[in-house]
Amino acid sequence: MPVFFNDLLRLAGLDPSDVSVILHTTNLRPLRRMLQYLAAERRDLFDAYQAVHSDQATSTLRGRELVATFLPFEEGRLLFEGVYGIAAAEERPTAEIYANPAYRELEEVFGATDTGPDRNVALRDRQVHFTLEPRDELADLRGRIVIPVPVGRTYVRIATRLEAHVLTILETPAFVPPPPAWDEFVIAGGLMRSLPRDWSERLRQWRGVYLIVDETDGARYVGSAYGADNLLGRWSDHVRGERGVTVELAARDPANFRFSILQLVSPTETAESVIALENNWKLRLHTRDHGLNQR
């Protein structure tokens, strides 16, 4: 007999009719992949992201005292994040709400254009801002309950209208997403300063040729990593200060950089071999004549 999420709410002493459900089904990238990380390690950003909603979602949320939140998980699945009480739902000037620097970081580092400050301030003068406080109910199941993505595009629903069955209850919380494959490892400069631990360790193991794109103008730079800490060490050097560390990047802001891997090599590959591959990529991508690499 299937178990439904509403059954778990009732077992915890909560009436599903009193609970709104936020289904974070966004397709924005890299936000979709990183929401689990934000919920686990960047609560300032996650709380800001959950504080503002569309008019329809706001109407649903204001009608109830409790909220249950789900995050993107595996394909076609959502992961339970937690239960909250709505401590406040205040209509405030949008300029005041989005003055919070968290929204700028969400947009520029994690691709959360739906909560982008400029966009939302231009759309309206005032907006409801929610303050959500974590509840103890189902706290032991945070990051463990997995449900299917429900049919429909409405991302905030009343629990009684959701009727999502529980696919599985994981043994341990699965908040931080696994590192992407090397050919899908595309991250912003801002994120390099606060990488999940597992992601850092993976970059520490990898050496090879990489690409930096300055998103302000699309200018490209090809580099290579083969020394201590491999790609982690080299990329961390690039974002350590307020300006790039090489001659070519010195006039540019690392916050605008986007990193990706062009070619991965053996962990024992010699520096000479990696540099030869780097030069080949510079030739193929024309980054000496039309990019940021020196001739």
Number of other CB atoms surrounding residue 284 within 10 Å:
10
Least confident interval from 4-8, 243-247, 259-263: 243-247
Helix (H) or strand (E) holding 272: helix 271-285
27, pLDDT greater than 90: no
67 contact partners, CB below 8 Å, separation of at least 6: 19, 20, 21, 22, 61, 83, 84, 85, 86, 132
Which one of 3.40.1440.10, 3.40.50.800, 2.30.130.40, 3.40.30.10 gives the CATH number of domain 182-285? 3.40.1440.10
Residue 241: which pLDDT band, with cuts at 50, 70 and 90?
confident
138, pLDDT greater than 90: yes
What's the CA gap between 36 and 45, in Å, rounded? 12
> pLDDT tens digit string along 173-195?
888 788 889 999 999 888 888 88
3-class DSSP state for residue 148? strand
Mean pLDDT of all residues in 141-154 = 93
Strands 19-23 and 66-72 come out as: parallel
Residue 112: which pLDDT band, with cuts at 50, 70 and 90?
very high
Residue 33: which pLDDT band, with cuts at 50, 70 and 90?
confident
140, pLDDT greater than 90: yes
> What's the whole-model pTM score?
0.79
222, pLDDT greater than 80: yes
Here the tokens at position 38 are 């934000």
What's the CA gap between 259 and 139, in Å, rounded? 36
Least confident interval from 45-49, 50-54, 123-127, 254-258: 254-258
> Is 259:210 a contact under the CB 8 Å cutoff?
yes
Mean pLDDT of all residues in 217-240 = 93
Strands (E), the chain: 19-23, 66-72, 77-93, 126-134, 145-148, 156-158, 168-169, 187-188, 207-214, 219-225, 257-265
Res 199: pLDDT: 92
* Three-class secondary structure assignment of 43-111: HHHHHHHHCCCCHHHHHHHHCCCEEEEEEECCCCEEEEEEEEEEEEEEEEEHHHHCCCHHHHHHHHHHC
What's the CA gap between 65 and 85, in Å, rounded? 6
> pLDDT tens digit string along 64-79?
999 999 999 988 999 9
Transcribe 2-16 into DSSP letters: --BHHHHHHHTT--G
> Is 249:221 a contact under the CB 8 Å cutoff?
yes
Question: What residue ranges do the domains of the chain occupy?
Answer: 5-169, 182-285
3-class DSSP state for residue 285? helix
Buried b (16+ CB within 10 A) or exposed e, 51-84: bbbeeebbebbeebebbbbbbbbeeeebbbbbbb
Res 142: pLDDT: 96
Number of other CB atoms surrounding residue 42 within 10 Å:
21
Our CA angle for 176, 118, 192, nearest 5°, is: 30
Place of tokens 């209208």: 161
The residues with which 92 forms a beta bridge, in sequence order, are 127
